[in-house]
């Protein structure tokens, strides 16, 4: 969406103002890209932290996030509606408005989508599957 503009047709003051705005926009975009990169890195770290290694024996009765052994009566764990993994009570985040909960990874994934605006493009693609295709 970049347009070539002949800056020679502007007065020097106008040219300076335009260039300052463009440089400021470039700085803001760089800061935003860094912010999004940090959010996604944090999410990826949470995913890796909870991933079971291939050398680790898989136990059905352990938390999918922290690998804490789950009990038979107390702290049995519950299945996350987002990812279908069984998680302990320490690895859940409760949502205030809905009184539901998500595991820490699903909650952080949701936050990243909200903070980056990805939810908008996902919803648009879901509602209008042919939009944006040539």
User: Could you tell me the fold of the domain covering 10-51+60-127?
Assistant: Herpes Virus-1 (3.30.40)
Give residue 71's pLDDT.
Answer: 87
pTM of the model: 0.70
Look at the block and give the residue holding tokens 């803001």.
Answer: 28
Q: How far apart are CA 49 and CA 20, in angstroms?
A: 43
Residue-wise pLDDT tens digits, 6-64? 778 889 999 899 999 999 999 999 999 999 999 999 999 988 887 655 445 555 688 98
Q: Where in the chain are the domains?
A: 10-51+60-127
Residue-wise pLDDT tens digits, 80-89? 999 999 999 9
Q: How far apart are CA 86 and CA 21, in angstroms?
A: 50
């Amino acid at each position: 969406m970049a347009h070539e503009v002949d800056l020679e047709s502007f007065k020097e003051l106008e040219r300076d103002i335009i260039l300052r705005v463009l440089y400021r926009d470039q700085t803001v975009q760089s800061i935003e890209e860094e912010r999004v990169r940090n959010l996604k890195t944090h999410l990826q770290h949470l995913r890796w932290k909870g991933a079971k290694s291939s050398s680790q024996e898989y136990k059905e009765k352990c938390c999918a996030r922290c690998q804490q052994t789950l009990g038979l009566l107390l702290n049995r764990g519950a299945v996350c509606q987002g990812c279908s993994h069984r998680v302990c009570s320490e690895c859940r985040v409760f949502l205030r408005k809905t009184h539901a909960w998500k595991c820490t990874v699903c909650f952080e994934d949701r936050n990243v989508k909200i903070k980056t605006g990805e939810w908008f493009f996902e919803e648009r693609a879901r509602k209008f599957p042919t939009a944006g295709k040539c």
